[in-house]
Amino acid sequence: MSLAVLAAAVLGLIAGAYARALAAGFGPEPDDRRGEALPAIAAAARAVPLPRPPYVLEGATALAAALVAWRVHDGWVLAAWLYAVLAGAALAEIDRRTWRLPDAITLPSYPILLILLAPSGRLLPAVASGCALGAVYAVLWFARPTGLGLGDVKLAGLIGLLTGALGVQATIVAGMAGQVLGALYAVGLLLARKATRTTEFPFGPFMLAGALVALAFPDI
pLDDT at 36: 86
Residue 120 DSSP label: G
Q: What is the mean pLDDT of residues 93-114?
A: 96
Task: Quote the crossing angle between the two packed helices 204-216 and 168-191, to the nearest 10°.
Answer: 130
**pLDDT at residue 62 greater than cutoff 70:** yes
| Calpha distance 194→181 (Å, rounded) | 17
Residue 184's pLDDT band, with cuts at 50, 70 and 90, is very high
Average pLDDT of the residues of the chain = 93
Name the 3-class secondary structure at 116: helix
Q: What is the mean pLDDT of residues 26-34?
A: 81
| Calpha distance 38→35 (Å, rounded) | 6
pLDDT at 194: 86
Residue 29's pLDDT band, with cuts at 50, 70 and 90, is confident
pLDDT at 1: 56
**pLDDT at residue 2 greater than cutoff 90:** no
More confident residue, 86 or 198: 86
Residues 125-155 pLDDT 10s? 999 999 999 999 999 999 988 888 999 999 9
Task: Please answer whether residues 220 and 173 qualify as being in contact, where contact means their C-beta atoms are separated by less than 8 angstroms.
Answer: yes
DSSP-assigned letters across all residues of 43-71: HHHHS-----TT-HHHHHHHHHHHHHHHH
High-pLDDT (> 90) share of the chain, % = 80
Q: Average the pLDDT over each of 30-44, 76-90, 166-180 and give the range with the smallest value.
A: 30-44
More confident residue, 199 or 142: 142
High-pLDDT (> 70) share of the chain, % = 100
Rg (CA), the chain: 17
DSSP-assigned letters across all residues of 81-96: HHHHHHHHHHHHHHHH
Q: What is the mean pLDDT of residues 54-70?
A: 96
Instruction: Please indicate, yes or no, whether the overall pTM of this predicted structure exceeds 0.85.
Output: yes
pLDDT at 123: 97
Task: Please answer whether residues 104 and 37 qualify as being in contact, where contact means their C-beta atoms are separated by less than 8 angstroms.
Answer: yes
**pLDDT at residue 33 greater than cutoff 60:** yes
Residue 34's pLDDT band, with cuts at 50, 70 and 90, is confident
